[in-house]
Amino acid sequence: MAAIPIIIDTDPGIDDAVALLVALAERERLEVLGITTVAGNVPLALTTANALRIVELAGRADIGVYAGAAAPLMRPLHSAVRVHGRDGLSGAGLPAPTLTPRAQHAVAFIIETLEAASPGAVTLCALGPLTNLALAFAQAPSLVDKVARLVLMGGTRDLGNVTPAAEFNFHTDPEAAAMVLRLGIPVVMHGLHLTYQAIATPERVARIAALDTTAARAVAGMLQRPPLPGMIERYGVPGYPLHDPCVIAFLLWPELFSGRDCFVDVETRGETTLGRSTVDWWGVLGRAPNTLVVDRIDADGYFARLTASLGTYGAAE
């Protein structure tokens, strides 16, 4: 089977870094056309540097990294350094990158890549706020026909994580999320209701650390941080959820996931509900579904596959 051509739009971020490592390891199944960065978990300069650090760690200097939007469409950036650390990859112990980003802007790269593609050829993998994608399709709306589907981490069917209503990626740029969900592109959504099932417990992290590779040590270092206040009460077990690797895992191992086609929209005006993803789980609105909302994951299988993928990297020096 031919490798799936993908563009990864990301804001690394710890879980983004794990997603990138898995995608770059699976080169026979995923053709990474490029990595585009956006401000989100940390400011753009750091998300771009972190993407370059991961590309170097993976030994994939052939993959271009393209810096994109430095702020949401209509709002100031509120990052997540409390979770990811000041540099975004707390605990990884990685040096500053020696590679540099490509000169082309991320939005221009997305447009140019889709223009050169056959209809329905490219899968978009969105791990952060959807600002770059909203900008790209605002400039070139006809390119939606070049997209096979958009697989994203964002939103939630249930409670949020930055407000009672909203998940971080959608809340950071709700206008972009609303625009992208209305484009007519087939969407696969991995929200908090799904990713909270994928907790990197100490036992799962220990199996990653036991690989004793440079990549595994970096991942284990990021995931072995002390729990934040209230974390165990929220997740039910010690450990951090690995949100973003769900996007890559869905492409590689779809049998681990299940969900339902729903109509989804994003709130852009509510005072207390800004960024909320309204998931019409029961079809009460009578609107045509626009999103496959994934709601179940085989977590043990997920971590076993991620660990095996990370194990393909070379031994630690």
pLDDT band (50, 70, 90) for residue 174: very high
**C-alpha atoms less than 13 angstroms from C-alpha of 101 in its C-beta half-sphere:** 21
Beta strand 30-37 pairing with 4-10: parallel
Q: Is pLDDT above 90 for 120?
A: yes
Residue 316: CB atoms within 10 A of its CB come to: 12
Q: Is pLDDT above 80 for 20?
A: yes
Residue 243 falls in the annotated catalytic set: yes
The phi and psi torsions of 290 (rounded to 5 degrees) equal: -125, 0
Q: Is pLDDT above 50 for 95?
A: yes
pLDDT on residue 315: 54
Please give the structure tokens belonging to residue 73.
């469409």
Q: Which of 18, 164, 16 is nearest to 80 (CA)?
A: 16
Q: Which of 44, 273, 80 is nearest to 169 (CA)?
A: 80
pLDDT on residue 317: 41
Beta strand 264-266 pairing with 30-37: unpaired
Residue type for position 9: D
Mean pLDDT value across residues 159-177: 96
Q: Is pLDDT above 60 for 188?
A: yes
Distance, C-alpha 98 to centroid of its chain:
24
Mean pLDDT value across residues 127-147: 98
pLDDT on residue 99: 97
User: Cβ distance 84 to 42 under 8 Å?
Assistant: yes
Average pLDDT score, the chain: 95
Cα angle: 248, vertex 68, 155; to 5 degrees = 45
Q: What is the pTM of this model?
A: 0.96
Which is catalytic among the residues 171, 190, 193, 243?
243
State the DSSP string of the chain.
-PPEEEEEEE---HHHHHHHHHHHH-TTTEEEEEEEE-SSSS-HHHHHHHHHHHHHHTT-TTS-EEE--SS-SSS-----HHHH-TTS-TT--PPPPSS---SS-HHHHHHHHHHTSPTT-EEEEE-S-SHHHHHHHHH-GGGGGGEEEEEEE---SS--SSSSS--HHHHHSHHHHHHHHTS---EEEE-HHHHTT-EE-HHHHHHHHTT-BHHHHHHHHHHTSPPPTTHHHHHSSSSEE--THHHHHHHH-GGGEEEEEE-EEE-SS-TTTTT-EEE-TT-TT-PPP-EEEEEEE-HHHHHHHHHHHHTTSPBP-
d(CA 154, CA 278): 12
Q: What percent of the chain has pLDDT over 70?
A: 98
Q: What percent of the chain has pLDDT over 90?
A: 88
CATH class for the region spanning 4-310 = alpha beta
**Each residue of 201-252: pLDDT tens digit?**
999 999 999 999 999 999 999 998 776 777 767 777 788 899 999 999 999 9
pLDDT band (50, 70, 90) for residue 86: confident
Q: Is pLDDT above 90 for 71?
A: yes
Mean pLDDT value across residues 93-111: 97
Q: Is pLDDT above 90 for 170?
A: yes
Please give the structure tokens belonging to residue 114.
């889709």
